[in-house]
Amino acid sequence: MESIGLVRWTPARMRARLTDVIGVYKAAFLDVHEPDPARAAIERTMHARRHAERRDLRAVAALLPDDRLIGFTYALPGRKGQWWHDVVSDALPPEDAVRWLGDCLEIVEFHVLPEFQGQGVGRELMRELLRDAPQRTAALSALELPGSRARRLYASEGFVPLLSNFQFPGSWVEYAVLGKHLTHTEPVQEEEPRSRKAEPRAGRAHGADGRRVRAV
Protein backbone atom coordinates (compact mmCIF):
# COMPACT_ATOMS: atom_id res chain seq x y z
CA MET A 1 0.00 0.00 0.00
CA GLU A 2 1.52 3.29 -1.05
CA SER A 3 1.01 6.62 0.68
CA ILE A 4 -0.34 9.33 -1.64
CA GLY A 5 -0.29 13.05 -0.87
CA LEU A 6 -2.07 15.95 -2.53
CA VAL A 7 -0.15 19.13 -3.22
CA ARG A 8 -1.39 22.42 -4.60
CA TRP A 9 1.03 23.60 -7.24
CA THR A 10 1.85 27.18 -8.10
CA PRO A 11 2.08 28.00 -11.83
CA ALA A 12 5.88 28.00 -11.54
CA ARG A 13 5.87 24.55 -10.00
CA MET A 14 3.64 23.20 -12.74
CA ARG A 15 5.99 24.62 -15.36
CA ALA A 16 8.91 22.90 -13.65
CA ARG A 17 7.08 19.55 -13.68
CA LEU A 18 5.51 19.91 -17.13
CA THR A 19 7.29 16.83 -18.51
CA ASP A 20 5.79 14.73 -15.72
CA VAL A 21 2.37 16.29 -16.22
CA ILE A 22 2.33 15.43 -19.91
CA GLY A 23 3.63 11.95 -19.15
CA VAL A 24 0.61 11.27 -16.94
CA TYR A 25 -1.72 12.84 -19.51
CA LYS A 26 -0.29 10.65 -22.27
CA ALA A 27 -0.51 7.40 -20.29
CA ALA A 28 -3.99 8.11 -18.90
CA PHE A 29 -5.67 9.57 -21.99
CA LEU A 30 -3.68 10.11 -25.16
CA ASP A 31 -2.38 6.54 -25.46
CA VAL A 32 -5.98 5.31 -25.21
CA HIS A 33 -7.95 7.85 -27.22
CA GLU A 34 -5.58 9.50 -29.71
CA PRO A 35 -4.47 7.91 -33.03
CA ASP A 36 -1.07 9.64 -32.73
CA PRO A 37 -0.34 10.00 -29.00
CA ALA A 38 3.19 11.38 -29.46
CA ARG A 39 2.04 14.20 -31.70
CA ALA A 40 -0.91 14.96 -29.41
CA ALA A 41 1.46 15.12 -26.43
CA ILE A 42 3.59 17.75 -28.18
CA GLU A 43 0.49 19.85 -28.92
CA ARG A 44 -0.81 19.54 -25.35
CA THR A 45 2.60 20.49 -23.97
CA MET A 46 2.37 23.81 -25.80
CA HIS A 47 -1.13 24.44 -24.47
CA ALA A 48 -0.20 23.49 -20.91
CA ARG A 49 2.92 25.67 -20.98
CA ARG A 50 0.82 28.65 -22.03
CA HIS A 51 -1.77 27.93 -19.34
CA ALA A 52 0.96 27.68 -16.68
CA GLU A 53 1.99 31.24 -17.44
CA ARG A 54 -1.27 32.50 -15.95
CA ARG A 55 -1.13 33.56 -12.32
CA ASP A 56 -4.78 32.56 -11.77
CA LEU A 57 -4.13 28.89 -12.59
CA ARG A 58 -5.26 26.36 -9.94
CA ALA A 59 -3.41 23.04 -9.99
CA VAL A 60 -3.36 20.00 -7.71
CA ALA A 61 -0.95 17.09 -7.95
CA ALA A 62 -1.15 13.58 -6.47
CA LEU A 63 2.34 12.42 -5.46
CA LEU A 64 3.94 9.31 -4.02
CA PRO A 65 6.50 9.72 -1.20
CA ASP A 66 9.32 9.60 -3.77
CA ASP A 67 7.73 12.64 -5.51
CA ARG A 68 6.48 10.59 -8.45
CA LEU A 69 3.46 12.25 -10.07
CA ILE A 70 0.55 9.81 -10.42
CA GLY A 71 -2.30 12.26 -11.09
CA PHE A 72 -3.02 15.92 -11.64
CA THR A 73 -5.72 18.41 -12.45
CA TYR A 74 -5.69 22.09 -13.27
CA ALA A 75 -8.22 24.78 -14.02
CA LEU A 76 -8.49 28.42 -15.06
CA PRO A 77 -11.20 31.01 -14.53
CA GLY A 78 -13.26 31.29 -17.71
CA ARG A 79 -13.37 34.52 -19.63
CA LYS A 80 -14.31 35.80 -23.05
CA GLY A 81 -11.61 35.38 -25.66
CA GLN A 82 -10.62 31.88 -24.46
CA TRP A 83 -11.28 29.26 -27.11
CA TRP A 84 -13.09 26.68 -24.98
CA HIS A 85 -15.11 29.32 -23.18
CA ASP A 86 -16.26 31.02 -26.38
CA VAL A 87 -17.10 27.78 -28.23
CA VAL A 88 -19.20 26.40 -25.38
CA SER A 89 -20.81 29.75 -24.63
CA ASP A 90 -21.91 30.10 -28.25
CA ALA A 91 -23.39 26.59 -28.21
CA LEU A 92 -25.51 27.18 -25.10
CA PRO A 93 -28.75 29.16 -24.95
CA PRO A 94 -27.84 32.73 -23.89
CA GLU A 95 -29.39 32.41 -20.44
CA ASP A 96 -27.56 29.14 -19.80
CA ALA A 97 -24.28 30.63 -20.98
CA VAL A 98 -24.63 33.41 -18.42
CA ARG A 99 -25.76 31.04 -15.67
CA TRP A 100 -23.04 28.45 -16.15
CA LEU A 101 -20.11 30.34 -17.67
CA GLY A 102 -20.58 33.88 -16.36
CA ASP A 103 -18.46 33.14 -13.27
CA CYS A 104 -16.92 29.75 -13.92
CA LEU A 105 -13.80 27.78 -13.05
CA GLU A 106 -13.07 25.84 -16.23
CA ILE A 107 -11.33 22.52 -15.57
CA VAL A 108 -8.76 22.07 -18.33
CA GLU A 109 -7.22 18.69 -17.53
CA PHE A 110 -7.91 15.91 -15.03
CA HIS A 111 -5.95 12.64 -15.24
CA VAL A 112 -4.75 9.75 -13.08
CA LEU A 113 -2.30 7.04 -14.17
CA PRO A 114 -4.18 3.86 -15.16
CA GLU A 115 -2.66 1.75 -12.39
CA PHE A 116 -3.99 4.19 -9.76
CA GLN A 117 -7.47 4.63 -11.19
CA GLY A 118 -10.43 3.32 -9.22
CA GLN A 119 -8.73 3.99 -5.87
CA GLY A 120 -10.28 7.36 -4.97
CA VAL A 121 -7.33 9.46 -6.17
CA GLY A 122 -9.34 11.23 -8.85
CA ARG A 123 -12.14 12.09 -6.46
CA GLU A 124 -9.70 13.63 -4.01
CA LEU A 125 -8.00 15.62 -6.77
CA MET A 126 -11.34 17.00 -7.96
CA ARG A 127 -12.52 17.96 -4.48
CA GLU A 128 -9.23 19.65 -3.62
CA LEU A 129 -9.24 21.56 -6.91
CA LEU A 130 -12.72 22.95 -6.22
CA ARG A 131 -12.29 23.52 -2.48
CA ASP A 132 -12.55 27.25 -1.68
CA ALA A 133 -12.74 28.18 -5.39
CA PRO A 134 -14.33 31.66 -5.54
CA GLN A 135 -16.29 31.03 -8.74
CA ARG A 136 -20.01 30.31 -8.80
CA THR A 137 -19.72 27.24 -11.04
CA ALA A 138 -17.23 24.77 -12.46
CA ALA A 139 -17.35 23.22 -15.93
CA LEU A 140 -15.44 20.74 -18.07
CA SER A 141 -15.73 18.66 -21.21
CA ALA A 142 -15.46 14.87 -21.17
CA LEU A 143 -15.69 12.18 -23.81
CA GLU A 144 -19.28 11.21 -24.51
CA LEU A 145 -19.00 7.86 -22.74
CA PRO A 146 -21.85 7.94 -20.18
CA GLY A 147 -20.89 4.67 -18.49
CA SER A 148 -17.18 5.39 -18.16
CA ARG A 149 -15.41 5.62 -14.82
CA ALA A 150 -14.76 9.33 -15.38
CA ARG A 151 -18.39 10.09 -16.18
CA ARG A 152 -19.59 8.17 -13.13
CA LEU A 153 -17.19 10.17 -10.97
CA TYR A 154 -18.35 13.50 -12.38
CA ALA A 155 -22.01 12.59 -11.86
CA SER A 156 -21.40 11.49 -8.27
CA GLU A 157 -19.63 14.81 -7.60
CA GLY A 158 -22.62 16.84 -8.79
CA PHE A 159 -21.75 17.60 -12.41
CA VAL A 160 -24.73 17.71 -14.77
CA PRO A 161 -24.82 17.71 -18.59
CA LEU A 162 -24.98 21.13 -20.26
CA LEU A 163 -24.32 19.82 -23.80
CA SER A 164 -24.43 16.25 -25.07
CA ASN A 165 -22.87 14.70 -28.19
CA PHE A 166 -21.07 17.98 -28.78
CA GLN A 167 -18.34 18.29 -31.39
CA PHE A 168 -15.72 20.99 -31.02
CA PRO A 169 -14.66 22.77 -34.23
CA GLY A 170 -12.30 20.65 -36.30
CA SER A 171 -13.07 17.41 -34.47
CA TRP A 172 -15.46 14.50 -35.06
CA VAL A 173 -15.13 13.28 -31.48
CA GLU A 174 -18.28 13.69 -29.39
CA TYR A 175 -18.03 15.29 -25.97
CA ALA A 176 -20.32 16.07 -23.09
CA VAL A 177 -19.97 19.49 -21.47
CA LEU A 178 -20.69 19.23 -17.75
CA GLY A 179 -21.30 21.87 -15.10
CA LYS A 180 -21.50 22.01 -11.32
CA HIS A 181 -22.72 24.68 -8.92
CA LEU A 182 -20.09 25.34 -6.26
CA THR A 183 -20.83 25.69 -2.57
CA HIS A 184 -18.56 28.28 -1.05
CA THR A 185 -16.93 27.67 2.32
CA GLU A 186 -14.29 29.45 4.32
CA PRO A 187 -10.78 28.65 3.01
CA VAL A 188 -8.67 26.30 5.08
CA GLN A 189 -5.16 27.42 6.02
CA GLU A 190 -2.64 25.49 3.97
CA GLU A 191 -0.06 23.29 5.66
CA GLU A 192 1.86 20.07 5.10
CA PRO A 193 -0.20 17.51 3.18
CA ARG A 194 -1.88 14.62 4.87
CA SER A 195 -1.13 11.37 3.13
CA ARG A 196 -3.53 8.54 2.41
CA LYS A 197 -3.18 4.86 1.73
CA ALA A 198 -4.02 3.76 -1.78
CA GLU A 199 -6.98 1.38 -1.67
CA PRO A 200 -7.49 -1.73 -3.76
CA ARG A 201 -9.47 -1.11 -6.94
CA ALA A 202 -12.57 -2.58 -5.33
CA GLY A 203 -12.22 -0.37 -2.28
CA ARG A 204 -14.50 2.54 -1.44
CA ALA A 205 -13.27 5.97 -2.50
CA HIS A 206 -12.40 8.41 0.24
CA GLY A 207 -13.23 12.08 -0.18
CA ALA A 208 -10.84 14.96 0.39
CA ASP A 209 -13.22 17.38 2.10
CA GLY A 210 -11.23 19.46 4.56
CA ARG A 211 -7.89 18.06 3.42
CA ARG A 212 -5.11 20.53 4.07
CA VAL A 213 -2.39 20.69 1.51
CA ARG A 214 0.73 22.72 0.98
CA ALA A 215 1.33 24.92 -2.02
CA VAL A 216 4.63 24.72 -3.89
211 touches 194 (CB < 8 A): yes
Q: Output DSSP code: residue 208.
A: -
Q: List the Cα angle 29/35/36 in 5-degree steps.
A: 85
- Cα(143)–Cα(175) distance, integer angstroms: 4
Report which of 192, 62, 73 is spatially closest to residue 119, judged by C-alpha positions: 62
Report which of 139, 182, 138, 146 is spatially closest to residue 164, judged by C-alpha positions: 146
Segments of the chain with pLDDT less than 50: 1, 185-212
Alpha helices (H) in 36-120, listed in sequence order: 37-51, 83-91, 94-101
What tens digit of pLDDT does each residue of 123-139 get? 999 999 999 999 999 99
pLDDT of residue 207: 32
What tens digit of pLDDT does each residue of 14-60 get? 999 999 999 999 999 999 988 899 999 999 999 999 999 999 999 99
